[in-house]
Structure 1
Amino acid sequence: MKILKNYLTVLILSIITTFSGFSQTTTYSTEVVDDLDIFYREAGSKNKPALVLLHGYPTSSFMFRNLIEELSTEYHLIAPDYPGYGRSSQPAIKDFDYTFDNMARIVEKFLDQKGIKKYSLYVMDYGAPVGYRIFSKHPERVQALIVQNGNAYEEGLGVPFDALKANWANNNEETRKALEGFHTLGGLEWQYTTGVEDPSKISPDNWYLDYQHIQRPENNEIQLAMFYDYRTNVALYPEWHKKFRKHQPPTLIVWGENDPIFPGIGAVPYKRDLNNVEIHLLNTGHFALEDKGDEIAAYIRQFFKKNNIK
């Protein structure tokens, strides 16, 4: 009798958690997409508004770990790792096109297989060109955009892009070699700490974990392939602007203003094409979630409530 009572208690609590939006523990799973294991983090009731979190270079869904926990009572959060990043499969370059078109295709198929047809997109760094490709193809599915240092305007390309532009103009051993410094251990630390008010608050686990992933065989070449393909994103900027103007997704911009890669000036041009856009420039750098996560979470709550996203 006591065992039955305990079982019923657990069952009732499980039902309450699922349907009442009580905090749910993050789960870690893989979904097979085109014979690739796509790793993802997920939390929150599937009856809540879906928020798809798209990570940047050179990290993974790990960058969203704290935000997922913070928002799991209010939203259904799901964050995949792209192929070649984090804990997802890393197919050989000869077998897989490491391009933004292909990353977007994999993420789109991942969402389809997961049955997620209506969602908001949180885009950061590489997540912006991945997410904007998906938005351009399926604008009716996207309820809102949350943009954190995710560029869509040439004004937002910082000084480090000079080295990428040299590579785009002449993709050779010399211009590729000049880019490898971005994913040395020191280069990774620079990305996490530059522009931050107090760098001692940024955990070194971030860049050491990224560095561990980059040390996998052929991953350096994968990163260089993505750097070279970034030129296709700039070419698509005008098309994305047209899509913004036509479909007018409610957009929240939470941007680390001191980011040398995508400086704060890159947030402002969104106002040219979007009517319902809310911009918050934060006193931090590229990976704003590391020291401004609570602030960003609060802005998301307010924005979703104001725009009645449910």
Structure 2
Amino acid sequence: MNTIAYRTIEVDGVSIFYREAGSAGQPKLLLLHGFPTSSHMFRDLIPQLADRFHIVAPDLPGFGQSDDPKVNSFDSIADSIEHFTEVVGFDRFIVYVFDYGAPTGFRLAVRHPERIAGIVSQNGNAYVEGLSDGWNPIRAYWEEASAANRDALRAMLTPQTTYWQYTHGVADPSAISPDGYTLDDHYLGRLHADNVQLDLFGDYKSNVALYPVFQDYFRTHKPRFLAVWGKNDPFFLPPGAEAFKRDNPDARVTFLDTGHFALETHAAEIAEEIRAFFN
């Protein structure tokens, strides 16, 4: 199946939208997006890999076309995606993680290391040294969950901030299609979406608390690991990518001269890295 199919299934009472391409029998590739986007971010990558992999790309609960999570937490999101993989028959797969997709995918790996055939981390962090000062407003909310600190984070849900996330660190912002950030803003404007996202900002501290657990998994299981990083990311710094080699010396780390949403400018290069690494 080289065309992309758009499907929705119910998982534990949560409706999950996903994109699917490739054919059964090919190596399985699970694509996990981040904030504030959806599986739409993989629109250029999927066609370049569908001849090589059986691909599914779900919208995480609370994002895109999927329902809100039952609980606004990363554990709840990981529970839904874990059960989603079981429903769609992804018993062993390579997982591509970006941003929020990283703590989701790494939870799956820790829970079921036998299911992980490899990891692609595209600006998906698991090390404290990878966190920039851009996290300081969110850190303030972790330290004091006051109404004022929560309300201050609403600035991160505005169209101006979404556009900045897409274009910061990109040599030519005119190369960034408006489709992605415009669609993200549409989803952020849905009823209750603001509170889902503010809750997840607060719960992100649970991911940082799990960094040592994720790192132990990398050391113990040494999965085939490819890190492809937009080096100008304002949130996840290059040292976070380099750190993967500390726990998994065979990991491949590649930097691209772009920002956080590296697929917007370098989808072809990232596809080629994946094809070459998992040949």
TM-score, normalised to structure 2, is 0.98
Choose from 86, 91, 101 the match for 1:127.
Answer: 101
Choose from 141, 145, 150 the match for 2:119.
Answer: 145
Choose from 29, 52, 56 the match for 1:74.
Answer: 52
Give per-residue Cα distances to partners, 1:11-46, cap 9 Å, x unaligned.
Answer: xxxxxxx6xxxxx10000001101221000000011
3-state DSSP of counterpart to 1:253? strand
1:246 matched to 2:220: yes
Aligned to 1:167: 141
Give per-residue Cα distances to partners, 1:148-189, cap 9 Å, x unaligned.
Answer: 000000001111110111000001111112211112000000
Give per-residue Cα distances to partners, 1:81-115, cap 9 Å, x unaligned.
Answer: 11110001136xxxx21101010000000010111
Give the drift of 1:265. Answer: 2.0
The number of residues matched between the two structures is 279
3-state DSSP of counterpart to 1:129? helix
CA distance in 1, matches of 2:134, 2:197: 15
CA distance in 1, matches of 2:274, 2:16: 26
Aligned to 1:279: 253
Aligned to 2:271: 297
Unaligned 5+ residue runs, structure 2?
none
Give the drift of 1:257. Answer: 0.2
State, as a whole percentage, how many aligned pairs show the same letter. Answer: 47
1:55 matched to 2:29: no
After TM superposition, the structure 1 = structure 2 runs for residues 1-310 of structure 1, keeping only pairs within 5 Å, are: 24-90=2-68, 96-305=70-279
3-state DSSP of counterpart to 1:144? strand
Checking the alignment, whether the CA contact within 8 Å between 2:31 and 2:97 is kept in structure 1 is: yes
CA distance in 1, matches of 2:256, 2:265: 10
CA distance in 1, matches of 2:77, 2:68: 12
CA distance in 1, matches of 2:56, 2:250: 25
3-state DSSP of counterpart to 1:195? coil
Give the drift of 1:198. Answer: 1.1
Aligned to 1:3: none
CA distance in 2, matches of 1:172, 1:218: 19
Higher Cα Rg, which structure = 1
3-state DSSP of counterpart to 2:86? helix
Equivalent residue letter for 1:48:
Q
Checking the alignment, whether the CA contact within 8 Å between 2:68 and 2:196 is kept in structure 1 is: no
TM-score, normalised to structure 1, is 0.89
Aligned to 1:9: none
CA RMSD of aligned residues (A): 0.9
Equivalent residue letter for 2:275:
R
3-state DSSP of counterpart to 2:44? helix
Which 4+ runs in 1 deviate beyond 6 A?
none
Equivalent residue letter for 1:204:
P
3-state DSSP of counterpart to 1:259? coil
Equivalent residue letter for 1:26:
I
Aligned to 1:15: none
Unaligned 5+ residue runs, structure 1?
1-17, 19-23, 306-310
